[in-house]
Amino acid sequence: MKSHIIILANLLFFTFSNTAYSGDINAGEARYSQNCGNCHGPAGMGLASYPKIAGKEVAYLKDRLNTYRAGTKIGPNSSLMIMMAMPLTDDEIANLAAYLNAQTK
């Protein structure tokens, strides 16, 4: 019985940990609408030379935003992304990651 509880707890944790511990989806949507959509399109679906970021893993999104915020270039639009990410707080990054991860269409 104890092993079933442990398995269930792990299953629930790994199923919901990607979004449950990442941030506030509604706050992320509000922050995204301020300027991210100008390049990444509605709900992060991508536009022209800007990639689709909808549905990406929370850890990936947080890592990328933190890397840009630190001033590190990683791609053709790095200068713009660095400028956009520098003012973001840790909470805003978590919220953006949660929102974008939830966009799957």
The structure's pTM equals: 0.79
More confident residue, 50 or 20: 50
Burial grade of 66 (CB within 10 A; 0-12, 13-18, 19 or more): middle
C-alpha distances in Å from residue 75, one per residue of 28, 50, 72, 80: 23, 11, 10, 10
Write the CB contacts of 43 (distance below 8 Å, at least 6 apart in sequence). 37, 54, 103, 105
The pLDDT score that the predictor gives to residue 19 is 44
Name the token pair of 42.
């509605």
- Please name each of the domains of the chain with its CATH number: 2-102 (1.10.760.10)
Dihedrals phi, psi of 24, to nearest 5 degrees: -95, 115
Name the token pair of 71.
């001033």
pLDDT tens by residue, 21-61: 579 999 999 999 999 999 999 999 999 889 999 999 999 99
